[in-house]
Amino acid sequence: MAKKLLGDPINRVDGALKATGRARYSGDIKRPGMLHGVLVMSTVANGKITAIDTAATLKLPGVVNVMTHLNAPKLAGIDKNKASEIATDRVLQLFQDDLVHYNNQPIAMVLADTLEQATEGASLVRVTYQIQPVKQPLPTGKADLATPKQLPRIDDQVDTKRGDLAAGLGAATQRIEATYTTPTMNHNALEPHALLAFWEGDKLTMYNATQGISGCQKRVAELFGMPKENVRVITQFLGGGFGSKGTTFSHVLLTPMAAKLVGKPVRLVLKREQMFGMVGNRSATEQTLTLATGNDGKLLATAHHSLVQTSDFDDFAEPAGTITRMLYACSNLDTTHKFIRANIGTPTPMRAPGEAPGVFALESAIDEMAAQLKMDPLAFRLANYAEKDPNKDKPFSSKSLRECYRQGAERFGWSKRPAEPRSLKNGHYLRGMGMGTTVYPMNRAESSALVRLKPDGTLQVETGTQDLGTGTFTIMTQIAAEVFGVSPDQVTLSAGDSIYPASSVSGGSRCTSSTGSAVEQAAREVLKKTKQLAFKDSKSPLFNVAEADIVAEKGGRLQQKSNPKIGESITNLLKRNGNNPVEATVQSKQGDEKEKYSMNAFGAVFAEVEVDELLGEVRVTRLLGSFAAGRIVNLKTARSQVLGGMVWAVSMALHEKTAFDMRTNRVMNANLAEYHVPVNADIREIDGFFIEEADDIVNPAGVKGIGEIGVVGTVAAIANAIYHATGHRFRDLPITVDKVLSLASR
């Protein structure tokens, strides 16, 4: 069957379970004799614990023990607890020493029969510190700039130079230079980080809310210094993660350590305020962009210098400048990354790490340049369209950005945008329109899957993937079903458990490209074996028909391509052949296509805003995104992904900011009442659609990532619309009431 480029919008396989509350998330799992853990967090940002008084806690009824650095089990693999090349392996706080590196760091765990007892117990632990001065995060802490050793994606160079920047600047007639700043942000998935851990002899089982079952298994095993086979990780459902559950953070080790200490199963669920530090954050950034063009609007020089922050004990560096290297044609380009060290929890990938803040800066600068040139922002982008990847100097496996621009602009009504800013009004509101290019690289990791064709003609897929809540479990059944031409409800999926074939992390929009490819390949392999069975079966109508001339058709039938009347049902074929299942396991990984091509999803986002300058209010009245991301397996779950991404961008543009008290580096809005994300009323008209794009090079599944692309260009589209509405440039996120007001009253 020919593949559909835009797959059926079927409902989620687990929709009913979730909607009726029957889905059991990691924090819902119980085990007889289980204790509840509650963490005690540091209240200073830098120093040493000189005393921990647990006497009052231990007197409380129900409290069993308090794990601190004084009694925590020692970890055999502790030498592995260091900065790593793998972005998701970070340095953890595992109660092996008395050091405090950031405020709100876990320093003890109270273990009790009930959650209430453990909670009360935690509030009674008294800690004394020897306090050191704090190293502040951005924007103030800029004393020591350093160049990171690497960026999270190991292939990305830290600094790049192309052509001759000075010559480009010299030849240019127009030039802008501007600095853009973005704040620290926290992921705040709806589901808190949670796990239940228990030991049976030297075997550990964990029900853990993780975006990467196999990475978690590996990391826990290596830190405990035990074989991977002894660790089982189960993640039946996830309530989001956005990157903060991609890394195996401290609590995932602390809980099995506690279970070992007390000899009982232990459950730990982080409180919301504990999710502002120990489970990662998006680094604040300060980015300076220089763009220069000739009078024709062709870019002659681009420079993008990024300053980010990391913790004082680890090296994660937000890769803000990487997209600037490849998005537009420009022969002279410099990009650099520097970071500062602060007493904060280590940053971690957060939905579109690097790309989201980086493209906000780039696409704002592009808009500024277009305005200076008095060119339409879309025309300016088209004038600098990159026909091949200027960074890698390689062709694109596919790129349908022109089509995204065209269809997006048409549906949005971009042609109605007056060139002059401040020219549209609606009552108290100034109205404006803006756009941004969006992009996300195709990432793919090793992943494996088993597909089994059963004698009754149904399919079984086994893969150790997890479903972030995005619909992974649903689309894996679709991918397998499509290979056989059967309906997805003929496919059962076994996943969410490390007993199944190891699968990639659900992060960097790589789950479908990696695990989807493994399922696709395994299904194809099974189909091939089935065809071979027919070929060899003298009783089959397809006896001696070449494999290439057999196709799977609707309803589980194999037939001859050149003569469709000849064929039989798969069940008949298997029945005659001993009623045995046919199965294949495939470990799928990237070939050399990466050496030959640049592979990316692209899109265009258009935004309309209304700004009440006197009250400082910004409302995003319309958002429309057009995306080209290869094959779309399920139009419904895919659209939800890009819409969700666009809502994230509204959040980043207008709402989100982790507010530090700079004297103590303590986060002062560590709750969802004061850490603002948009509510329904903030999202008015919003839509996203996909351009049909066939790409046979990119991976066997033919897909590119869609988890992050919705965020990337949308942030600048909103900021650019605010410029168009007001005539003021807002270069510091989030664009809140106070900022709008102060620019307006100038």
Closer CB to another protein, 116 or 420, in the complex? 116
Cα gap 234→496, rounded to integer Å = 6
Place of tokens 């001065």: 133
Cα gap 590→579, rounded to integer Å = 35
Closer CB to another protein, 419 or 615, in the complex? 615
Helix (H) or strand (E) holding 534: helix 517-536
Closer CB to another protein, 546 or 614, in the complex? 614
CB of 253 to another protein, least distance (A): 25
- Using CB atoms within 10 Å of the CB of residue 592, give its burial: 0 to 12 exposed, 13 to 18 middle, 19+ buried: exposed
Closer CB to another protein, 462 or 610, in the complex? 610
Q: Is 408 helix (H, G, I), strand (E, B) or coil?
A: helix
Question: Interface with another protein by CB under 8 A: which residues?
Answer: 43, 53, 116, 119-120, 123, 126, 128, 428, 614-617, 619, 654-655, 659-661, 663, 666, 668-671, 673-674, 676, 678-682, 736-738, 741-742, 745
CB of 116 to another protein, least distance (A): 7
Would you say how long the chain is, in residues?
A: 746
CB of 104 to another protein, least distance (A): 9
Give CA 590 to chain center in angstroms: 20
Closer CB to another protein, 589 or 676, in the complex? 676
Longest dimension (CA), the chain: 87
Cα gap 698→158, rounded to integer Å = 25
CB of 743 to another protein, least distance (A): 11
- On whether the CB atoms of residues 221 and 235 are closer than 8 A, the answer is no
CB of 40 to another protein, least distance (A): 11
Cα gap 741→640, rounded to integer Å = 34
Cross-strand pairs, 553 = 557
Is residue 708 flagged as an active site residue? yes
Query: Cα separations (Å) of 112 from 28, 57, 270, 328, 529?
Result: 17, 10, 15, 58, 55
Closer CB to another protein, 41 or 604, in the complex? 41
Q: Is 404 helix (H, G, I), strand (E, B) or coil?
A: helix
The amino acid sitting at 160 is: T
> Residue 643: how many CA atoms within 13 Å on its side-chain side?
16
DSSP secondary structure of 106-148: EEEEEEESSHHHHHHHHHH-EEEEEE-PPPP-TTT--S--B--
CB of 686 to another protein, least distance (A): 14
The first and second tokens of residue 678, run together, are 């948009």
Closer CB to another protein, 93 or 397, in the complex? 93
Closer CB to another protein, 61 or 263, in the complex? 61
**Rounded to a whole number, what is the distance in angstroms from the first to the last CA of the chain?**
63
Cα gap 347→182, rounded to integer Å = 14
Choose among 699, 681, 686, 679: nearest CA to 633.
699
Cα gap 143→141, rounded to integer Å = 6
Closer CB to another protein, 36 or 655, in the complex? 655
Cross-strand pairs, 497 = 234
Choose among 2, 1, 6: nearest CA to 689.
6
Choose among 349, 341, 358: nearest CA to 148.
341
- On whether the CB atoms of residues 326 and 390 are closer than 8 A, the answer is yes
The amino acid sitting at 332 is: N
- On whether the CB atoms of residues 278 and 250 are closer than 8 A, the answer is yes
| Strand 459-462 with 491-494, pairing | parallel
Cα gap 92→105, rounded to integer Å = 10
Closer CB to another protein, 538 or 745, in the complex? 745
Query: Cα separations (Å) of 326 from 10, 179, 388, 514, 713?
Result: 35, 20, 9, 23, 14
Closer CB to another protein, 79 or 674, in the complex? 674
- On whether the CB atoms of residues 17 and 23 are closer than 8 A, the answer is yes
CB of 201 to another protein, least distance (A): 37
Q: Name 311's Cβ contacts closer than 8 Å, sequence gap at least 6.
A: 91, 101, 102, 341, 342, 343, 344, 345, 346, 347
Q: Name 590's Cβ contacts closer than 8 Å, sequence gap at least 6.
A: 444, 699
Closer CB to another protein, 629 or 650, in the complex? 650
Catalytic residues: 708
